[in-house]
Structure 1
Amino acid sequence: MSILSENMRYLRSQTGTSQQKTADALVITRGRYAKYEDGASEPPVELLIKISRYFHVSIDLMVSADLRKISLKELMELPDNRILLPVKTDETGEKRIEIIPHKASMGYLEGYSDPEYIENLQNISLPFLGSGTYRAFPVEGDSMPPQKDGSLIIGKYLEKATDLKKGKSYVFVTRSEGITYKRLLKAEKDTVTVAADNSFYEPYSIALADIFEIWEYTCSIATEEFTKEDFNTDQQQIIELLKELKKEVNELKK
Structure 2
Amino acid sequence: MDNAKIFFQSNLKFLRNRKKLGQDDLSKLLNISRSKLSALENGQTKAPQPEDLITFSNFYKISIDSLMKVDLSRLGELKLRELEAGNDVYMTGTKLRVIAISVDANNNENLEYVPVRAKAGYAAGYNDPEYIAALPKFSMPNLPKGTFRMFPTAGDSMHPIPEGSDVITQYVEDWMSIKPETPCIVILKGSQDFVFKLVTVEKNGYFSLKSLNNRYKSYSVPGEEILEVWKYYKFMSVLIPEGEPDMHEIRRMFIELKEKLNK
TM-score, scaled to structure 1: 0.61
Instruction: Name 2:26's counterpart in structure 1.
Output: none
Instruction: Name 2:70's counterpart in structure 1.
Output: 67
Offset, 1:189: 2.1
Counterpart of 1:170 (choices 181, 184, 200) is 184
Offset, 1:176: 5.0
CA RMSD of aligned residues (A): 2.9
Counterpart of 1:91 (choices 84, 105, 112) is 105
Query: Equivalent residue of 1:108, what SS?
Result: helix
Answer whether contact 2:158 2:197 (CA < 8 A) is retained. yes
Unaligned runs of 5+ in 2: 8-67, 73-79, 251-263
CA distance in 2, matches of 1:137, 1:80: 22
CA distance in 2, matches of 1:195, 1:174: 15
CA distance in 2, matches of 1:184, 1:78: 14
Answer whether contact 2:112 2:149 (CA < 8 A) is retained. yes
1:161-211 Cα shifts (integer Å, max 9, x gaps): 111111321111011543101012452222011210001001110110100
CA distance in 2, matches of 1:189, 1:172: 18
Instruction: Name 1:231's counterpart in structure 2.
Output: 243
Is 2:199 the partner of 1:201?
no
Answer whether contact 2:181 2:210 (CA < 8 A) is retained. no
TM-score, scaled to structure 2: 0.59
Instruction: Name 2:60's counterpart in structure 1.
Output: none
Offset, 1:68: 5.6
More helix by share: 1
Counterpart of 1:135 (choices 149, 172, 193) is 149
Answer whether contact 1:76 1:161 (CA < 8 A) is retained. no
The 1:139/1:66 distance shift into structure 2, 3 A limit, reads: closer
CA distance in 2, matches of 1:156, 1:145: 21
1:200-226 Cα shifts (integer Å, max 9, x gaps): 00111011010000011111111x221
CA distance in 2, matches of 1:159, 1:77: 11
1:64-85 Cα shifts (integer Å, max 9, x gaps): x952649998232578732111
Task: Describe how 1:8-23 pairs up with structure 2 within 5 A.
Answer: none
CA distance in 2, matches of 1:176, 1:79: 18
The 1:216/1:79 distance shift into structure 2, 3 A limit, reads: closer
Unaligned runs of 5+ in 1: 11-64, 238-254
Counterpart of 1:81 (choices 83, 86, 95) is 95
Query: Equivalent residue of 1:144, what SS?
Result: coil
The 1:226/1:86 distance shift into structure 2, 3 A limit, reads: same
Counterpart of 1:183 (choices 190, 198, 203) is 198
CA distance in 1, matches of 2:202, 2:93: 20
1:73-132 Cα shifts (integer Å, max 9, x gaps): 823257873211111111122211110111211200110000000000001211311210
Aligned residue type for 1:208: G
1:133-164 Cα shifts (integer Å, max 9, x gaps): 01111111001122222211111110121111
Aligned residue type for 1:187: E
The 1:92/1:165 distance shift into structure 2, 3 A limit, reads: same
Identity over aligned pairs, percent: 25
Aligned length: 174
Instruction: Name 1:6's counterpart in structure 2.
Output: 4
CA distance in 1, matches of 2:210, 2:138: 29
